[in-house]
Amino acid sequence: MRRIRSNQLGDIAVADEAVIHFLEGIPGFEECHDFVLIEDEEITPFRWLQSLDDGAIAFIVVDPVIIFPGYQVKLGPAETAAIRLTDAKRAQVQVILTISEDPEKTTANLQGPLLINAEKNLGCQVLLTRSLYETRYPVMQGLAAAGRTR
C-alpha cells in the first residue's frame, strides 16, 4: 500500500496492484513513472490519472470512445512490446483532457492516447502521427454528438 498527498484529491492510499508503471513517463512529465487511475463520481465518465511520484501531477482522462464513437488505435509491434501486450485488442486506451474554465473549451488529445496493459500494470503514451485525430478535440461537442451529456 502506498500513500500520497494529491493536490487535487487530498490524501489517498493506493494498493500496489493498482499502480500503473510508465517506463518512460509521459512526455513532458518524464520524471513521473508511477500512476494510478482513480474513479470520482463527481467527474464520471472521466477519471483522474494521479502521479504517485509527484502529488501535483494529475490528469483527467477518458476512454476516447465515450467522446468519439469509432475511435481506434492501430498498434504496431513497438507499441505492444512497450507495454508487453500479447493481444493489441486488450489495450486499455485513455486520452488526456486539457481542462478549461469554460467547459465548452475543454479538449482531448486524441492524437496522443495512453495505452495501458491492465494485466501487467504497464502504460505508455503513443503519438498517432498518421491519423486524422486532433490534439485538441472539443470534449463537450463529442459528448453531444455521442448522445451523452454531463
Contacts of 2 (CB under 8 A, 6+ apart): 13, 14, 16, 19, 52
For residue 95, what is its C-alpha cell?
486520452
pLDDT of 76 over the 90 cut = no
Tens of pLDDT, residue by residue over 91-117, are 999 999 999 999 999 999 999 999 999
Q: Is residue 116 part of a domain?
A: yes
Q: Is residue 127 part of a domain?
A: yes
Give the ranges where 14-149 is alpha helix by DSSP (H).
64-67, 77-82, 139-145
Handedness of CA 110, 111, 117, 123 (dihedral sign): negative
pLDDT of 142 over the 80 cut = yes
Q: Is residue 150 part of a domain?
A: no
- Band of residue 150 on the pLDDT scale cut at 50, 70, 90: low
**What CATH code is carried by the domain that includes residue 78?**
2.30.290.10
Q: What does the pLDDT read at residue 116?
A: 96
Give mean pLDDT, residues 50-78.
94
For residue 122, what is its C-alpha cell?
504497464
Number of domains, the chain = 1
Distances (CA, A) of 44 to 75, 104, 118: 27, 17, 20
Contact 28/57 with Cβ under 8 angstroms?
no
pTM of the predicted protein model: 0.92
Q: Is residue 83 part of a domain?
A: yes
- Domain with 79, as residue range(s), is 2-145
By C-alpha distance, which of 124, 145, 139 is closest to 45? 139
Q: Is residue 24 part of a domain?
A: yes
Q: Is residue 35 part of a domain?
A: yes
Q: Is residue 62 part of a domain?
A: yes
